[in-house]
């Protein structure tokens, strides 16, 4: 059963007034009001987002030992999940889901910590009740939650409701601030950059834990010292020729042979000229929605003489400014969209435009070249180190 299904099932029973809580609907209405007001406040919109720098923190675990985010990040990416406390059944279901996901998180080289404002004794209770094997940290006064932009002050009417239900937050948290964190989940890269962020003002709703895994599976761009001697030599050649080692080229160097083989393919002799190759590169990258290759080939397209307006037109699959290039662009787009099965009329138009069978073969070679890098970026999501291509 998914986390959402478990949360929804509990919520349905709770709001129906079923045991063991047996709450009247007036209580539910008050809770709904508080959630609606919290959502309308826009607090979640101000929380830290993907690309922001996460604040460093040192908090005590359930046994009083200090846990430093800086030290954890030296070992790999860090998953940080904020929850309200052991008294919240929705939080407990979330913690159980995180525990179930822990082997996958660890397999990707990451660490997991959860943070709440509750005292150490209540953190130990969270660990016992939910059979947790990851650190549960105490954020007194929700100071770290505030640094992430997710601390909020409970309204007076909700405080009175909690008191009437004997939900003693000052007792749970060891302070009388009556503040809580929005439930939030963050994945932090080793350099402190947030790779994934999910915050929801509705405490009854939590993201599926598996949604954070793709952020952990992102590839770090290897540095020269981390690749083979042969690839280090290629890096030096690229620096001399381009002034840099593009991130996607560097990623190919995870393999002993892929970078050299790819550059041999890309730089081999072709019956197509530079403009024709860039037409294919732009069209294929647009079909495959590769932001990296679109950025790179928008820059290269300008270098071979296309105007910004022409590059946009080419990305859309045509080139009305040049009948020959138009036939090439349309064939390349159709072949890419249809996995090689281009429309026969477009192949005929390509040949009628004066292209030869040799150039047809070389067109397929360039399409294949570009599919390699399109797919590699789709799977690795390495940072784009060229000026971004304009949106269509």
Residue 23 and residue 105 in one domain: yes
Domain at 17, CATH number: 3.40.30.10
What range defines the domain where residue 381 resides? 269-392
Q: How far apart (Å, rounded) are the C-alpha atoms in residues 180 and 198?
A: 16
Residue 299 and residue 371 in one domain: yes
> CB–CB of 281/293 below 8 Å?
yes
Q: How far apart (Å, rounded) are the C-alpha atoms in residues 275 and 278?
A: 5
Residue 211 and residue 250 in one domain: no
> CB–CB of 380/254 below 8 Å?
no
Among 216, 232, 255, residue at a domain's last position: 216
> For 306-362, what is each residue's pLDDT tens digit?
999 999 999 999 999 999 999 999 999 999 999 999 999 999 999 999 999 999 999
- In the block, tokens 């940080």 appear at 80
Residue 250 and residue 302 in one domain: no
Residue 289 and residue 342 in one domain: yes
CA angle 63, 67, 70 (to 5 degrees): 175
Total residues found in the chain within this entry: 392
Residue 307 and residue 207 in one domain: no
Count of domains for the chain: 3
**Would you state the pLDDT for residue 219?**
76
DSSP state of 113: E
166 has pLDDT over 90: yes
> For 206-247, what is each residue's pLDDT tens digit?
999 999 998 898 777 888 999 999 999 999 999 999 999 999
129 has pLDDT over 80: yes
Q: How far apart (Å, rounded) are the C-alpha atoms in residues 219 and 93?
A: 31
Residue 231 and residue 172 in one domain: no
Residue 133 and residue 208 in one domain: yes
> For 3-60, what is each residue's pLDDT tens digit?
999 999 999 999 999 999 999 999 999 999 999 999 999 999 999 999 899 999 999 9
> For 255-296, what is each residue's pLDDT tens digit?
999 999 999 999 999 999 999 999 999 999 999 999 999 999
136 has pLDDT over 80: yes
Residue 174 and residue 238 in one domain: no
**Would you state the pLDDT for residue 183?**
98
| 342 C-beta neighbours (distance < 10 Å), count | 19
- Which DSSP string do the residues of 253-275 spell out, in sequence order? TTSTTHHHHHHHHHHS--SS-HH
> CB–CB of 316/337 below 8 Å?
no
Residue 337 and residue 380 in one domain: yes
Burial 263-285 (b: 16+ CB within 10 A, else e): eeebeeebebeebbbbbbbbbbb
Residue 189 and residue 249 in one domain: no
Q: How far apart (Å, rounded) are the C-alpha atoms in residues 251 and 239?
A: 15
Domain at 349, CATH number: 1.20.1290.10
Residue 26 and residue 129 in one domain: yes
Question: Which tokens hold the place of 149?
Answer: 């932009």
**Would you state the pLDDT for residue 110?**
95
Alpha helices in 118-190, H assignment, sequence order: 120-130, 143-147, 156-164, 169-173
> CB–CB of 149/55 below 8 Å?
no
Neighbouring residues of 203: CB distance < 8 A, sequence distance ≥ 6: 35, 84, 88, 90, 91, 182, 183
Among 237, 252, 268, residue at a domain's last position: 268
Among 250, 268, 286, residue at a domain's last position: 268
**Would you state the pLDDT for residue 51?**
87
Express the helix, strand and coil content of the chain in percent, nearest 5 each.
Answer: 55, 10, 35
Q: How far apart (Å, rounded) are the C-alpha atoms in residues 311 and 301?
A: 7
**Would you state the pLDDT for residue 381?**
86
Helix (H) or strand (E) holding 39, with range, is helix 25-40
């Amino acid at each position: 059963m998914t986390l959402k299904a478990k949360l929804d099932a509990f919520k349905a029973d709770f709001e129906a007034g079923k045991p063991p809580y047996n709450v009247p609907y007036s209580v539910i209405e008050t809770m709904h009001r508080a959630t609606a007001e919290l959502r309308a406040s826009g607090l979640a919109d101000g929380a830290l987002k993907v690309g922001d720098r996460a604040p460093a923190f040192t908090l005590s675990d359930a046994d009083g030992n200090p846990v430093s985010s800086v030290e954890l990040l030296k070992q790999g990416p860090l998953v940080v999940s904020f929850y309200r406390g052991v008294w919240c059944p929705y939080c407990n279901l979330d913690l159980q889901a995180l525990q179930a996901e822990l082997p996958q998180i660890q397999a990707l080289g990451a660490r997991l910590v959860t943070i709440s404002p509750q005292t150490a004794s209540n953190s130990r209770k969270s660990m016992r009740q939910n059979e947790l094997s990851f650190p549960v940290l105490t954020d007194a006064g929700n100071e770290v939650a505030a640094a992430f932009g997710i601390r909020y002050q409970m309204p007076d009417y909700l405080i009175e409701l909690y008191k009437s239900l004997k939900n003693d937050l000052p007792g749970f948290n060891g302070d009388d601030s009556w503040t809580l964190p929005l439930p939030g989940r963050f994945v932090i890269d080793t350099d402190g950059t947030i790779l994934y962020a999910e915050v929801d003002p509705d405490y009854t709703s939590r993201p599926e834990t598996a949604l954070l895994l793709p952020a952990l599976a992102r590839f770090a761009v290897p540095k020269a010292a981390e690749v083979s001697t042969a690839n280090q030599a290629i890096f030096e050649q690229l620096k001399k020729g381009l002034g840099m080692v593009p991130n996607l080229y560097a990623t190919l160097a995870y393999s002993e042979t892929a970078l050299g083989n790819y550059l041999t393919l890309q730089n081999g002799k072709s019956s197509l000229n530079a403009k024709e190759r860039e037409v294919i590169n732009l069209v294929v990258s647009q079909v495959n929605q590769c932001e990296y290759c679109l950025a790179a080939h928008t820059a290269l397209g300008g270098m071979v003489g296309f105007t910004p307006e022409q590059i946009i037109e080419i990305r859309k699959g045509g080139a009305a400014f040049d009948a020959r290039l138009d036939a090439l662009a349309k064939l390349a787009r159709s072949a890419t969209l249809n996995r090689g099965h281009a429309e026969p009329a477009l192949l005929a138009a390509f040949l009628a435009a004066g292209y030869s069978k040799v150039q047809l073969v070389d067109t397929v070679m360039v399409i294949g070249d570009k599919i390699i890098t399109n797919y590699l970026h789709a799977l690795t999501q390495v940072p784009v180190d060229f000026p971004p291509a304009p949106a269509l």
